[in-house]
Amino acid sequence: MEIINQRIILFFENNFVRYCILDLNLPYILHHNLYMENLHLYDFLPSGNGYKVRLLLTQMGIPFERTEVNILKGESRTPEFLSKNSNGRIPVLEVAPGKYLAESNAILLYLSEYTEFLPYDRYLKAQVMQWLFFEQYSHEPYIATSRFWVSILGKVEEYRTALEEKREPGYAALKVMENHLKCHNFFVDERYTIADIALFAYTHVADEGGFDLTPFPAIQAWIDRVKAQPGYINITHEPQLCYDY
């Protein structure tokens, strides 16, 4: 780290230099990034977990290379891929040559540090993490898994009993979100953060797994707010490598 003056700090981090503009009147740190090398994302385009990372990178204006890993063809189970993530799952982000980070929400935290997408305040940051844990434990196992079986594998009949078992806990998670969003525009600090990105990824396509969002008007309004954020891309959009400096 190098302090340029009282308002600008340079962070030398892996494959890029990040400089932060501090403003004590703001609850977060404004940022800009100067990149020395590209980040490399390995993911599967229909994946909501991969979409989380693609969306954040695009909204931050971070250039990255992307390799499609077709999990339906077993490409995440090859020796080459397992050398990047021994758990055999996507997404995986190469943050420096030979240095890999897996788990979508861990990647979100890594990328958003010192930016407006993750609060600087300790309590607010913990609230973001609270929703990230909620997404992984109470939301994704039901909403995301149902979508995978129904819309990606197309095996509704084969998984019919399992899908029925997913309904109650899936709707319970949506009810938790609905109750929170009745009183808040976003999940933390009334502003758009990675908590919203994490929960948006599978919620906005919940219907593809058989979940009806009609009874959840607050969620529907929040989905519209997320889609209105600068740099928004849809889940099937494949970003092109580009540089903005």
User: Which CATH number do you get for residue 161?
Assistant: 1.20.1050.10
Whether residues 128 and 219 fall in one domain: yes
pLDDT at 7: 46
Angle between helices 140-147 and 48-60 (to 10 degrees): 100
Q: What does 39-52 look like in DSSP terms, one character per residue?
A: EEEEE-TT-HHHHH
Structural domain including 168 reads 122-227
Q: Do 79 and 126 fall within a single domain?
A: no
Global confidence as pTM:
0.86
pLDDT of residue 13: 54
Please check whether residues 72 and 7 belong to one and the same domain: yes
CATH number, domain of 56, equals 3.40.30.10
What was the pLDDT predicted at 36?
A: 38
pLDDT of residue 238: 78
Tell the residue number behind the tokens 């590209």, with chain if given: 38
Residues 74/89, Cβ–Cβ less than 8 Å: no
Residue 239 inside a domain? The answer is no
Note the pLDDT of residue 190: 98
Residues of the chain with confidence (pLDDT) below 50: 1-8, 15, 21-32, 34-36, 242-245
Number of independent structural domains in the chain: 2
Burial of 183 (0-12, 13-18, 19+ CB in 10 A): exposed
Residues 6+ apart with CB under 8 A from 41: 50, 53, 54, 57, 64, 65, 66, 67, 91, 92, 93, 94
Q: What are phi and psi of 223, to 5 degrees?
A: -55, -45
Give residue 38's pLDDT: 82
130, 113, 106: which is closest to 28 by C-alpha?
113
Pairwise CA distance, residues 46 & 236, whole Å: 6
* Whole-number pLDDT of residue 241: 55
- Specify whether 87 is located in the same domain as 127: no
Cis peptide before 97 (omega within 30 of 0): no
What is the pLDDT at residue 193? 99
Residue 26 sits in the same domain as residue 63: yes
Write down the pLDDT at residue 217: 99
In this predicted structure, what is the pLDDT of residue 2? 46
Q: Please indicate, yes or no, whether residues 168 and 195 belong to a single structural domain of this protein.
A: yes
Name the pairing type of β-strands 64-68 and 99-102: unpaired
Contact 132, 195 (CB under 8 A): yes
On whether the CB atoms of residues 235 and 196 are closer than 8 A, the answer is: no
Domain stop point among 55, 84, 112: 112
> Among 55, 88, 112, which residue terminates a domain?
112
